[in-house]
Amino acid sequence: MLELDLTAELDRQLSVCNACRYCEGFCAMFGAAQLRTAIGSNDVAYLANLCHDCRMCFDACMFTPPHAFAVNIPAAMSAARVETYARYAKPAVLRRLLATPRNAALAAVAAGIVVVALAIALWAGVAALWTPQLGAGAFYRVLPYLAMVVPALAVTVFGAACVVLGVRHYARDIGGGVRFVTAPALWTALGEAVTLVYLKGGGAGCYDEGRGSGRRRFYHGLVFWGVLADFAATCSAAVLQDFVHQLPPYPLLSVPVVLGTGGGIALAIGAAGLTLVKRRSDARPAEPRMIALDNAFLGLLEVVALTGLALLAFRSTAAMGSLLAVHLGAVAGLFVTAPYSKFVHFVYRLVALVKNASERTGGSS
What confidence tens digit (pLDDT) does each residue in 312-325 have? Answer: 999 999 999 999 99
Q: Where are the alpha helices (H) located in 130-243, listed in sequence order?
A: 138-142, 145-175, 183-195, 215-242
Counting Cβ atoms within 10 Å, is residue 211 exposed (0-12), middle (13-18) or buried (19+)?
exposed
Question: What pLDDT does 4 receive?
Answer: 52
Collapse the DSSP code of 211 into the 3-class scheme (helix H, G, I; strand E, B; otherwise coil) and give the result.
strand
**Distance separating alpha carbons of residues 47 and 84, to the nearest angstrom:** 11
Write down the domain spans for the chain. 4-87, 92-360
DSSP 250: P
52-272-297-139 Cα dihedral, nearest 10 degrees: 130
Nearest-angstrom CA–CA distance, 326 and 328? 6
pLDDT digits (tens, 9 = 90+) for 175-215: 988 889 999 999 999 999 999 999 988 778 898 877 788 99
CA distance 365 to 360: 9
Question: pTM of the full predicted structure?
Answer: 0.93
Tell me what pLDDT residue 276 has. 96
**Low-confidence spans in the chain with pLDDT less than 50:** 1, 364-365
Q: What is the pLDDT of residue 364?
A: 46
pLDDT of residue 2: 54
Q: Are 288 and 337 in contact (CB under 8 A)?
A: no
What separation in angstroms does the CA of 131 have from each of 126, 184, 279, 319, 329?
9, 55, 41, 7, 19
Asked whether the beta carbons of 263 and 282 are under 8 A apart, the reply is no
Give dist(CA 105, CA 330) in Å, integer: 9
Whether omega for the bond prior to residue 288 falls within 30 degrees of 0, making it cis, is no
Beta partners for 212?
207
